[in-house]
Amino acid sequence: PDIIDDHFYRSAQEFFDDVHHYDKTDRDGPQVLDGEWATREGSPTTNMGAALGDAAWMTGMERNSDIIVLASYAPLFVNVNPGGMQWPSDLIGYDALNSYGSPSYYAQAMFSTHLGDHVLDAKLDATNPRLFDSVTLDSKHHRVIVKLVNGSSLPQAVNINLSGAKVHSNAHVTTLGAPTTEATNSITDPTRIVPVVSTISNAATTFTHTVPRYSIQILDLDLN
């Protein structure tokens, strides 16, 4: 076949364990559609733990985007009224008057709006098995985009070395995080967990950045 259709419904830990699933896939074989996939944690919509599992898996998909041509999260919508749910865990909750995005929704939004056009050959040298990364280059805007996922309960200091690049010292950082993996959004508290944009002033060719616990971060590093 030209494209195979993979389906994955897993826990966050299962996605953490299999994040390198496509790294050694035969490049001469068929391309891949992840036609149905999601971290099944939280109900009726996903919680922060699920968002971390989703983001870890997306780093693997992004690193292997030469063969993964399409991906489709499922299920997408859930009626949060009693008896309205068919499948847990869902991306967007709604009732007759309101709707909200789950933490996984915001993880998807962050990845989709910070896209490079070249995957860079990056190596993550870390002892923490719950730290994940993907690094791309946005050649149009002369920007390196570093995605970091910390699924552990402790902050993680990351030494970033962009060999051969000249980097502006000021950089934007988009963070989605929560104090616990069970934390979530709801119809009555729809924006408890949303992305927050901040700036750092110590970006350089080589610098240290600390990723908060239970968080997804995207660093937009502009090049000189």
> Where does the pLDDT of residue 147 fall: very low under 50, low under 70, confident under 90, or very high at 90 and above?
very high
Cβ neighbourhood burial of 63 (10 Å; 0-12, 13-18, 19+): buried
Lowest mean pLDDT among 54-58, 120-124, 179-183, 209-213: 120-124
Measured distance CA(119)–CA(115) in Å, rounded: 10
Query: What pLDDT, on a 0 to 100 scale, did the predictor assign at position 223?
Result: 96
Closest CA to 122 of 158, 146, 140, 142: 146
The alpha carbon of 221 is separated from its chain's Cα centroid by a whole number of angstroms, namely 18
Measured distance CA(52)–CA(71) in Å, rounded: 17
- Residue 106 is given by DSSP the state H
> Where does the pLDDT of residue 125 fall: very low under 50, low under 70, confident under 90, or very high at 90 and above?
confident
CB atoms within 10 A of CB 45: 28
CB atoms within 10 A of CB 84: 12
Which tokens in the block code for residue 71? 């991906």
- Cα–Cα separations (whole angstroms), residue 46 to 38, 83, 102, 143, 186: 9, 17, 6, 31, 10
> Where does the pLDDT of residue 127 fall: very low under 50, low under 70, confident under 90, or very high at 90 and above?
confident
